[in-house]
Amino acid sequence: MEDTVAYQLGNFIGEFIEYVTVETQLGYKRIMRIWVRVDVRKPLKRKKRTALKNGASVYVRFEYEKLTLFCFLCGKFGHGERFCSIRAIQPQSEYVFIWDISLHAQPRKNLSWKSKWLVEDDGGETFYFWQ
């Protein structure tokens, strides 16, 4: 079942490559990590309506890792809102930001490193953590 769901969702976003078989729970939400090849000329997908076994339907929200230079006006990679072609077409009062920062997935783990040059007053090592 998970194989077909991962394949369908991956192909909805772009071109399915593979997925992690271990299901992850992050707080209240279940996460399935899927690798896809995305056409950067097209807007990113935000969600997809999916039918459950019992006949009910739910929306699956997509989050993306490594979301770099991204436009929240048109949903495409390669430029920011400041250089979006939509700005030339629509007046600023009519801008609709459909995409938001919730598309960016939380990091999988905290990154840390220690500096051999920085030492605490008591002689202990200094660690830095990013989230």
Residues 74 and 61 in one domain: no
**Residue 40 lies in domain:** 2-67+101-130
Please tell me whether residues 107 and 52 are part of one structural domain.
yes
Residues 123 and 63 reside in one and the same domain: yes
Q: Residue 22 carries which DSSP code?
A: S
Query: Residue 111 — φ and ψ, nearest 5°?
Result: -95, 135
Residues 57 and 83 in one domain: no
Number of separate domains in the chain: 2
In terms of domains, do 42 and 16 share one?
yes
Vertex 98, ends 3 and 13: CA angle to 5°? Answer: 20
The two three-digit tokens of residue 127, written as one number: 């660690």
pLDDT of residue 112 exceeding 60:
no
pLDDT at 65: 86
The phi-psi region of residue 78 (left if phi > 0; otherwise alpha if psi is between -120 and 50; otherwise beta) is left
| pLDDT > 60? residue 117 | no
Q: Categorize the per-residue pLDDT at 114 as very low, low, confident or very high, splitting at 50, 70 and 90.
A: low
Average pLDDT over residues 67-89: 86
Quote the pLDDT of residue 28.
66
> Which H/E stretch holds residue 53?
none
Tell me, yes or no, whether 20 and 62 share the same domain: yes
Rounded to 10 degrees, the C-alpha dihedral 127/68/11/42 comes to: 170
The verdict on 87 and 108 lying in the same domain is: no
